[in-house]
Amino acid sequence: MLEPVNISLEALNLATLMPMLIAIGGGLVILLLDLAKDNLHKSLYVMLTILILLVDLGATTGLTYGANEKGFFDVLLMDGIAVLSQVLILVASMLFIPLSLTSKRFHEYSYPEFFALFLFMIAGFQFMVSSDNLILIFIGLETASLSLYTLIALHNRSNSFEAAVKYFTMGALAAGFFTMGSAVLYGISGSLELGQIAGAISDRMNEPGITILILGGAGLLLTAFAFKLSLFPFHTWAPDVYEGASAPLAGYMSVVPKVAAFVVSMRIFEMFIQLEITWVQDMIIILSVITMTIANLMALVQEDVKRMLAYSSISHAGFVMVAIALATDKANTGVFLYYSLFMFTNLGAFAMLWVSRHKNRIHHSRYDHPYEKFSGMIKIMPMGAIVMGLFMLSLAGVPPFSVFWGKIYLMSATVDAGYLWLAIVMGLNSAIAAFYYLKLIVYMFLKEPTDAVTQETTYYNVSKPLLTILGFAVIVTVASIFMVNPLIEYIDTMVKATNFGI
């Protein structure tokens, strides 16, 4: 007969669960609201979502992170990076959701389910980042991914379906690798908790035959995360998926799922690296170097700006992946600094594509955003061209714009760790990358407008909320020099308050 389980409510430590509960509860509220009254305007849902996210943000920042507090049957772990990444995810989500208030009507936003799914996805990501239990990480990952696939498909275009199916298939494969990797680690240690896995591995380090098991476990997990982070050679899905998804969602995908995946990678792979399993480190360095280089070279030949930005996001992910291999506090700080600055700029760039999004493809039979579309933009909408130019310069890493600070911080962390050659590779890759960002600038500033480009066609989808978000993005991009210090201070305390692996 089963023993009755006795757990006191205090031991559950429900405060750690609050952020996710708020997101899930908010999603349910939206569904109920739809049940009660039909045909509510999307603006209501957008504002409601923002408010829910705000409450969520409040609950997250209110958490005590210093003590690496555990909760909910000890599967939740609220440490520095858990809180920090949740804050990042929530802020990015709040920037993203107003982008649905376009002047033209798009299919997906008329369903309240879109917003409910969006909130469920955020809850999934929150679970994923705030746990050191492989099962909960998996559940969080899958909740978030399944919602995301649906959000992509809701865009209701043939290539969105293609994107969603492709992403789903690849995601399923990654999920398979993840479970197999976890199973191997469970086999080694008899536990799914990273702390205990680390202990078991270090105890059994000298046993014969253990290497092959670690190889299997770490290798499978690395493959799974290479899919999620779109690292070479598992990056091929990314450009198609970005192209099929709506522009803001593509921008969102280049930030939030990556941040979540990076946090988990930090927990898992930095554990291996601290156990001095050096081939994991070498492997990650090789992967990141190839990823940033290949993606950069591929981005050079793209004809569509959105695809170019997709490859550029892959390359940025490869750049940041270096930090996981270094596994120092400074490198981890760099990851968050990079993404908190990159977030604004990249979302801004995708939002500019969204502003100019047409129902029909008027510029090119295959692409929504060919370079020609931006030809001579300085003559037609000078402000738009300057803003997009700023984003491109920032992505290229021209100081003093936002991404530059992330870049030098990561490069400095690389130099500190003694990998000078790697820092130079990172630098040279930024120089290659500058070419395709410049290409867009050249089109916007130095070419004559084509006949199909007029103010109306480029400002097609603009609305006040979009301009507001763009305004935020521009301010952060330009004035980042004044924000970097407090950001580093905050991130640094958070990272230092975290126990990695052991």
19: which 2 tokens? 């952020």
Least separation in angstroms between CB 127 and other proteins: 31
Contact call for residue 481 and other proteins (CB under 8 A): yes
Least separation in angstroms between CB 124 and other proteins: 33
Report the DSSP beta bridge partners of residue 76. Answer: 71, 131
Q: Which is nearer to other proteins, 252 or 405 (CB)?
A: 405
Contact call for residue 408 and other proteins (CB under 8 A): yes
Least separation in angstroms between CB 276 and other proteins: 23
Q: Which is nearer to other proteins, 60 or 477 (CB)?
A: 477
Contact call for residue 492 and other proteins (CB under 8 A): yes
| Binding-site member from 104, 485, 496, 499 for other proteins (CB under 8 A) | 485
For the chain, helix (H) and strand (E) counts, in that order, are 21, 2
Least separation in angstroms between CB 24 and other proteins: 37
Cis, peptide link before residue 400, omega less than 30° from 0: yes
- Contact (Cβ atoms closer than 8 angstroms) between residue 392 and residue 440: yes
Q: Among residues 246, 476, 240, which one has the least CA distance to residue 356?
A: 246
CB neighbour class for 40 (10 Å; exposed up to 12, middle 13-18, buried from 19): middle
Q: Which is nearer to other proteins, 163 or 326 (CB)?
A: 326
CB neighbour class for 465 (10 Å; exposed up to 12, middle 13-18, buried from 19): middle
Binding mask 409-438 for other proteins (x = CB under 8 A): x-xx--xx---x--xx--xx-xx--xx--x
Report the DSSP beta bridge partners of residue 304. Answer: 370
Q: Which is nearer to other proteins, 120 or 338 (CB)?
A: 338
Q: Which is nearer to other proteins, 155 or 373 (CB)?
A: 373
| Binding-site member from 11, 446, 479, 502 for other proteins (CB under 8 A) | 446
- Contact (Cβ atoms closer than 8 angstroms) between residue 495 and residue 329: yes
CA-based Rg of the chain, rounded to a whole angstrom? 22
Name the phi and psi angles at 120, rounded to 5: -65, -40
Least separation in angstroms between CB 432 and other proteins: 8
Q: CA 186 to CA 278: how far, in whole Å?
A: 21
Piece in contact with other proteins (CB under 8 A), picked from 37-45, 53-61, 344-352, 400-408: 400-408
Q: Total number of residues binding other proteins (CB under 8 A)?
A: 35
Q: Which is nearer to other proteins, 309 or 434 (CB)?
A: 434
Least separation in angstroms between CB 400 and other proteins: 5
Measure the CA dihedral 29/35/37/39, to 10°. 100
The CB density around residue 180, as the number of other CB atoms within 10 Å, is: 17
Contact call for residue 482 and other proteins (CB under 8 A): yes
Q: Among residues 476, 407, 414, 490, which one has the least CA distance to residue 85?
A: 490
Q: Which is nearer to other proteins, 91 or 415 (CB)?
A: 415
Piece in contact with other proteins (CB under 8 A), picked from 137-145, 341-349, 441-449, 457-465: 441-449
Q: Which is nearer to other proteins, 145 or 312 (CB)?
A: 312
| Binding-site member from 33, 40, 213, 488 for other proteins (CB under 8 A) | 488
Q: Which is nearer to other proteins, 43 or 485 (CB)?
A: 485
What burial letters (b/e) apply to 111-148, b meaning 16+ CB within 10 Å?
ebbbbbbbbbbbbbbbbbbbbbbbebbbbbbbbbbbbb
Taking phi over 0 as left and psi of -120 to 50 as alpha, with beta for the rest, 2 belongs to: beta
Q: CA 493 to CA 333: how far, in whole Å?
A: 9
Residue 315 identity (one-letter amino acid)? S
Least separation in angstroms between CB 315 and other proteins: 14
Residue recorded with tokens 């290539």 = 159
Contact call for residue 15 and other proteins (CB under 8 A): no
The CB density around residue 496, as the number of other CB atoms within 10 Å, is: 12
Least separation in angstroms between CB 395 and other proteins: 13
Q: CA 99 to CA 97: how far, in whole Å?
A: 5
Contact call for residue 49 and other proteins (CB under 8 A): no
Q: Which is nearer to other proteins, 212 or 431 (CB)?
A: 431
Contact call for residue 465 and other proteins (CB under 8 A): no
The CB density around residue 24, as the number of other CB atoms within 10 Å, is: 20
Piece in contact with other proteins (CB under 8 A), picked from 60-68, 307-315, 341-349, 483-491: 483-491
Least separation in angstroms between CB 306 and other proteins: 22
380-399: which residues touch other proteins (CB under 8 A)?
393, 396-399
Least separation in angstroms between CB 393 and other proteins: 7
**Triad 476, 481, 485: Cα angle to 5°:** 105
Least separation in angstroms between CB 296 and other proteins: 13
Binding mask 83-112 for other proteins (x = CB under 8 A): ------------------------------
Q: Which residues contact 189 (CB under 8 A, 6 or more apart)?
A: 196, 197, 199, 200, 201
The terminus-to-terminus CA distance of the chain in angstroms comes to 37
Least separation in angstroms between CB 449 and other proteins: 14
Least separation in angstroms between CB 488 and other proteins: 4
Which residues contact other proteins (rule: CB under 8 A)?
Answer: 393, 396-400, 405, 408-409, 411-412, 415-416, 420, 423-424, 427-428, 430-431, 434-435, 438, 441-442, 445-447, 481-482, 484-485, 488-489, 492
